[in-house]
Amino acid sequence: MEWKKEIKSFGIIVAVFLGFFYLPVGITRFDNAIFEALELAKWYAREHVLLCLIPAFFIAGAIGVFISQASVMKYLGAKANKILAYGVASVSGTVLAVCSCTVLPLFAGIYKMGAGIGPATAFLYAGPAINVLAIILTARILGVELGIARAVGAIVFSIVIGVVMHLIFRTDEKQKVAVQMAMPQQGDTRPLWKTSFYFAVMIAILVFANWGKPIDNSGVWALVYNQKWGITSLFSVILGLIMIFWFKMKWWKVVSAALPAVILAIIAPTSIPDEFMPMALFAAGAMGFSVVTSLDKGECGEWFSSSWTFAKQILPLLLFGVLISGFLLGRVGHEGIIPSEWVSAAVGGNSFRANLLSSLVGAFMYFATLTEVPILQGLIASGMGKGPALALLLAGPALSLPSILVLNGIMGFRKTVTFIILVVIMATTSGMLYGRFF
């Protein structure tokens, strides 16, 4: 008998038994934290998995199938023109208006296709950080100077973080370049303008399906919001035409992909609540599209296979991270296991500790797009300093516990930890400087 192995097994059994024996079920805070974890996971499944992640998985899969490695290396590779690479990556958020979780499949797609660690992490930070609507909302609710500081800080952050990541891991980058140069280069199978338009249509579906409701019911933002599902449907039709004329898919297959949504709209207009009807139709259309592409024997089948690979890799870790995040910190206006007064008391003033803690909370707490603004509004009303507020705005949208778990699987432990440290350091420093001058 291997006593060391048996003692280890016995220790695990005892630890699990004691864990259940002393499980704090019945204590209000613990029970509430469990409830908040499940509520956040429920909200995430309803609001993000269908509308954000499914389009993002298809876009990431398309990057791996329809964009040649040579093209990625030319514009974002380790030897690409640095001004072009970091310039494109740093302003990506103005187009993508996504959260830290939705950008992960897109990051995984370009990183695995050969993008350098510098431009890739610049894109990873900028995607959720430079959200035009979020910056405008910040300026209107929290002050113009804070909105401007957030916009400028996010762009500068993305470039600096990307450059520092490249310098720290330059040995790995040289090895990647050597491997890429030894690989046979293949050109794109169709003209660049067709590929660009195809990706623009998919990005438009992602953006308009997730278009947030503005505070003011007038203006362009409100007009787009009121017509968001009509615009999303239009781009979905355009995507269907692309599948027929450019990808040579049979027309009846494309029509059959749309049938689940059409049938659902006809037979269940009253059985599904109005607020869930657009989401249900979107889900039905996505399911039909998935079935049709998965059964295709050509490049569309490869597209689905690539998208499904990203989904299997990323989705379980995201949902697990959302549960943990909800348990620890709760949702907007609801507490988890950590009392909110602890956070409020620790982020007052403009001390190093306040800015550092604000950056850490922002880095690990999950913020859905735009929710960081009402959270900060409440914290500022409770005495939070302006410096820590900016630190949270710069660290929060770009990172979260769910995204950290996924990043570890994509680029490894060392690079993930380095990225987190850089975000926290720069957010803390920016918060202290901003708090000193404003």
- The predicted model gives 379-384 an average pLDDT of 72
pLDDT band at 136 (very low <50, low <70, confident <90, very high): confident
Percent of the chain with pLDDT over 70: 88
- The predicted-structure confidence for 247-291, as pLDDT tens digits, reads as follows 889 999 999 988 888 888 888 767 777 777 888 888 889 999 999
- The predicted-structure confidence for 207-253, as pLDDT tens digits, reads as follows 888 887 776 777 787 888 889 999 999 999 999 999 999 888 999 99
- The predicted model gives 24-44 an average pLDDT of 85
pLDDT of residue 276: 78
Q: Report how far residue 165's alpha carbon sits from residue 306's, in angstroms, rounded to the nearest whole number.
A: 27
- The predicted model gives 53-78 an average pLDDT of 78
- Whether 363 and 325 have beta carbons less than 8 Å apart is answered as no
Buried b (16+ CB within 10 A) or exposed e, 184-198: eeeeeeeeeeebeeb
Q: Report how far residue 41's alpha carbon sits from residue 35's, in angstroms, rounded to the nearest whole number.
A: 10
Token digits for 193?
Answer: 């303008």
Distances (CA, A) of 60 to 116, 307, 431: 17, 6, 34
- The predicted model gives 308-332 an average pLDDT of 82
- Whether 122 and 422 have beta carbons less than 8 Å apart is answered as no
Q: Report how far residue 96's alpha carbon sits from residue 263's, in angstroms, rounded to the nearest whole number.
A: 31
Q: Report how far residue 129's alpha carbon sits from residue 97's, in angstroms, rounded to the nearest whole number.
A: 9
pLDDT of residue 377: 72
Matching residue, tokens 């169709």? 190
Distances (CA, A) of 134 to 97, 348, 405, 421: 9, 24, 25, 24
* φ, ψ (nearest 5 deg) of residue 295: -90, -5
Chain centroid to CA 72: 21
Enter the pTM of the model. Answer: 0.77
Q: Report how far residue 7's alpha carbon sits from residue 22's, in angstroms, rounded to the nearest whole number.
A: 22
Our CA angle for 164, 434, 417, nearest 5°, is 30
DSSP-derived 3-state class of residue 384: strand
Matching residue, tokens 């990647």? 176
- The predicted-structure confidence for 101-128, as pLDDT tens digits, reads as follows 778 888 888 888 777 888 889 888 887 7
279: burial class by Cβ within 10 Å (0-12, 13-18, 19+)? Answer: middle
State the chain's mean pLDDT as an integer. Answer: 82
* φ, ψ (nearest 5 deg) of residue 384: -65, 135
- The predicted model gives 358-365 an average pLDDT of 86
With a cut of 70, say whether residue 1 has pLDDT above it: no
- The predicted-structure confidence for 386-426, as pLDDT tens digits, reads as follows 889 889 888 887 788 888 988 998 888 999 999 999 999 99
- Whether 155 and 90 have beta carbons less than 8 Å apart is answered as yes
- Whether 121 and 161 have beta carbons less than 8 Å apart is answered as yes
